[in-house]
Amino acid sequence: MDAAQDDRAREALEVADRKLRRGEISRRDFARLTSMLGIVAVAPTALAACGSKATGGGTTAAAGGGGGGGKDSLRFLVGESFWANWHPYNHTAQIGFKIQRNLFDRLVEVQPDMSLEPGLAESWRQIDARTWEFKLRRGVTFHEGQPLTAEDVKASVELASGFDGDKREPLAMAATWGVPHKGEVVDELTVRLIGAKPFGPLLNTLAITDILSAEDIARGRTTLERRPNGTGAFKLADDKPNVKTLERFDDHYRGPARLRTVTWEFIQDSQTRLNALLAGQADVIDRVEPDQLSLIERGDGAQAISVTAPEIQSMWFRMDKDPFGSNAGLRRAFAWSLDRESMAGLVGGKAATADSHLASGIEFRAPQQPAYAFDPERARAELARAGGPVSFELGSSTGFYPKSKEICELAQQNLEEVGFTCRLTLLELAAWIDMLFGRGRPGEVFYGGWGNLTKDPDFALATLLRSPGAWTGANDRTSDALIDAGKTETDAAARERTYGRLQEHLWSELVPAVPIVYSDLSNGLRDNVRGYEVYPTFVQDFWPVEISG
């Protein structure tokens, strides 16, 4: 997201928070909405502490030193403002996961190709359908000196998964887990995790679950909110509202990082971030817009790295509302009416035409057939068989998703050429949220996205496509059965078969949405920065990074 999107993200979060407080939406819908927008939820109390929209970082990126200030110090400009406290389980904001990747470690670690590698756990095995055993690394210590033991893992997973029974307010991470897990200490470096029921996404969920000190957890939420005490490659050295300075932790289990300090600075304006990079005043910047990539390529001393992100943008049908909800033929006619390849081209960068209801990089994703394309003749034939033509409203927010206005205008043109009557409604975020949750359920189709915190398909599909499907009105028994089977099946081959069948059903039979594009994710960096990689999951790992002469 660019600066304008960041503004709208915070606006959306504030609107959703007001609706939650007024009782107009449920806490579950609050989390679903913010997940869809790619910002995901913080607790309302944390939002209040953040205040209204931040302007952080001002309009100049020159303050704070240029180019990181030396070969062992790196300056990283980010486009998302920092949250109010350091509790790693009570938000799902991207900026939180980005910086926590460097302050904490996890039992397993996601790699740039989204594979999983051992982290704090040297090895693991599945004992039965609900129980996994993990062997921990010896000699790992927290920043404040405590040795890592199985007690820390037990306490962390119980708190994150919701097993601890904290009644004051559910933590955001518990919704991501979905299944409470109890910890059982076998010995000092061996722990078993026992789910309330089988949980297929376990390893992927552990890859975003930071391990905390059991002592800190016992001291209570205030301790966790006040300061981070992890085992990560960096520790917090200075904490200002818009600037966070991380300092190398020399006792990290992988060995000391190459950089002495990494300064994270919130600069809201994307052009200001770009100017700082090109001027050598910043070493790395995130959230480079596709339109800016050519400027970096033509510049001197900098480069861009782009990947296709595990975020999917789609045309979603109201599955509990006519004319589309009860007529699969109309939904197929709609799919054959869209020039999806040109829509992906409008976004640019590493954006790619979607070929499944699972985004790029999601486990078990398989390209689906038919490859829906703009085929007016076939679309008209499908429309005639389905009893068309029909009239409907297509709603979209403006400015949040790149080129959403242009994509919807092209869709309207395509659809009307085929014979649909499409009324396009472009809305500011507050009005768009009202469209999604309005009691009268206005609109028949809407354009929106879904970003993924993990590479597990359950997170990608269950929220919107399992009955009642939040605002989509999903109500399909076949989808429900397959989604439930995928969540509770722990055998990888069985899960692959289940999600293969589910993708086929969604793509060619049910068509609850028409996936359009997998999103672009681009970062910029100076040519002398070595070892930096862009993770599709939006995090950064600065442990291997160095600045050459």
Which CATH number does the domain housing residue 495 bear? 3.10.105.10
Once rounded to an integer, what is the mean pLDDT over residues 376-405? 90
Rounded to 5°, angle at Cα 154 from 152 and 160: 95
Looking at 202, 228, 254, the residue that finishes a domain is: 228
Looking at the domain assignment, is residue 167 inside a domain? Answer: yes
CA pseudo-torsion sign 427, 428, 429, 431: negative
- What are the Cα distances from residue 342, in Å, to 99, 280, 338, 541? 35, 36, 9, 34
Give the pLDDT band (50/70/90) at residue 84: confident
Considering the domain architecture, whether residues 485 and 361 belong to the same structural domain is answered as: yes
| 110 is a domain residue | yes
Ordered alpha helix ranges (H), 242-362 = 270-278, 293-298, 328-335, 340-347
pLDDT, residue 194, reads 98
Lowest average pLDDT, out of 53-57, 175-179, 232-236, 243-247, goes to 53-57
d(CA 109, CA 362) in angstroms, rounded, equals 16
The answer, yes or no, to whether residue 469 has pLDDT greater than 60, is: yes
Q: Would you state the pLDDT for residue 530?
A: 97
479-514 pLDDT tens trace: 999 999 999 998 999 999 999 999 999 999 999 999
Identify whether the C-beta of residue 79 lies closer than 8 Å to the C-beta of residue 239: no
Q: Is residue 458 in some structural domain?
A: yes
What's residue 58's pLDDT?
Answer: 43
Which two tokens mark 136? 């921990």
Residue 6 has pLDDT above 80, yes or no: no
Regarding whether 214 and 357 lie in a shared domain, the answer is no
Whole-number average pLDDT of the chain: 87
Name the DSSP letter for residue 98. H
For residue 549, tell me if it sits in a domain: no
Does residue 375 belong to any structural domain of this protein?
A: yes
What is the pLDDT, as a whole number, of residue 538? Answer: 82
Q: Do residue 174 and residue 318 come from a single domain?
A: no
Residue 304 CB-half CA count within 13 A: 23
Q: Does residue 377 surpass a pLDDT of 60?
A: yes
Cα dihedral 169/173/179/180 (nearest 10): -60
Number of folded domains that form the chain: 2
How far is it, in rounded angstroms, from Cα 183 to Cα 165? 14
Confidence of residue 273 (pLDDT cuts 50, 70, 90): very high
Both structure tokens of 364: 């078990």
When pLDDT is cut at 50, 70 and 90, the band that residue 314 belongs to is very high
DSSP line for 141-152: B-TTSPBP-HHH
Residues 218 and 338 in one domain: no
Whole-Å CA distances, 128 to 123, 158, 163, 208, 489: 16, 19, 19, 23, 12
- How far apart (Å, rounded) are the C-alpha atoms in residues 425 and 432? 9
Q: Is the pLDDT of residue 438 over 70?
A: no
* 496 and 390, same domain (yes or no): yes
- Report the Cα 417 to chain-centroid distance in Å: 35
The reply to whether 208 and 320 lie within a common domain is no
CB contact at 8 A, 19 and 25: yes
pLDDT value of position 467: 85
Residues 212 and 319 in one domain: no
- In the prediction, which pLDDT does 95 show? 85
The closest of 358, 362, 312, 334 to 502, measured between CA atoms, is: 358
CA distance 356 to 366: 7
Q: Can you tell me the mean pLDDT for 106-125?
A: 95
**Taking 60 as the threshold, does the pLDDT of residue 374 lie above it?**
yes
Does pLDDT of 440 surpass 80?
Answer: no
For residue 324, give its domain range.
Answer: 308-521
Question: For residues 332 and 382, is the Cβ–Cβ distance under 8 A?
Answer: yes
Query: Residue 428 above 50 pLDDT?
Result: yes
Structural domain contains residue 257: no
pTM score over 0.95: no
Sign of the CA dihedral 29, 32, 37, 43? positive
Domain membership flag for residue 508: yes
Name the pLDDT band for 164 (thresholds 50, 70, 90). confident
Q: Are 524 and 289 in contact (CB under 8 A)?
A: no
Say what the pLDDT of residue 51 is: 37
Q: pLDDT class for 16, splitting at 50, 70, 90?
A: low
Q: Which two tokens stand for residue 334?
A: 């709609």
- Amino acid, res. 317: F
pLDDT at 27 over 80: no
Dihedral pair phi/psi, residue 420, rounded to 5°: -70, 155
How high is the pLDDT of residue 392? 96
In-domain check, residue 8: no
**Quick count: other Cβ atoms within 10 Å of Cβ 165?**
7
User: What pLDDT, on a 0 to 100 scale, did the predictor assign at position 91?
Assistant: 79
Q: Which residue has the higher pLDDT, 23 or 457?
A: 457
The yes-or-no verdict on residue 24 having pLDDT over 60 is no
Q: Which of 175, 209, 228 delimits the end of a domain?
A: 228
**pLDDT value, residue 170:** 72
Q: Which two tokens mark 263?
A: 């300064």
* pLDDT for the residue numbered 145: 98
Contact 510, 481 (CB under 8 A): no
Last residue in a domain, options 209, 228, 247: 228
Among all chains, which residue has been given the structure tokens 């590493």? 350
**Exposed e or buried b per residue across 64-97, where buried means at least 16 C-beta atoms within 10 angstroms of its C-beta:** beebbeeeebbbbbbbbbbbbbbbbbbbbbbbbb
* Best-predicted range by mean pLDDT (58-72, 238-252, 294-308): 238-252
Q: Residues 343, 472: one domain?
A: yes
Indicate whether 220 and 363 sit together in one domain.
no
Q: Please list the alpha-helical segments (H only) found in 42-192.
A: 44-50, 94-103, 150-161, 172-177
Mean pLDDT, range 91-111, rounded to an integer? 90
Residue 349 shares a structural domain with residue 451: yes
Together in a domain, 360 and 505: yes
Same-domain check for residues 361 and 494: yes
Greater confidence (91 vs 255) lies with 255
DSSP-assigned beta bridge partners for residue 515: 314
Question: What span, in angstroms and rounded, lies between the C-alpha atoms of 269 and 57?
Answer: 9
Confidence of residue 450 (pLDDT cuts 50, 70, 90): confident
**CATH classification of the domain holding 195:** 3.90.76.10
Taking the CA atoms of 174, 176, 178 and 183 in sequence, report the sign of the dihedral they define. negative
* Residue 55 clears pLDDT 50, i.e. is over it: no
Listing DSSP states for 430-441 in one string gives HHHHHHHH-TT-
Task: Kindly report which listed range (95-104, 157-166, 270-279, 479-488) carries the lowest average pLDDT score.
Answer: 157-166
Q: Give the SS3 label for residue 547.
A: strand
Mean pLDDT within 75-93:
86
Average pLDDT estimate for 29-42: 52
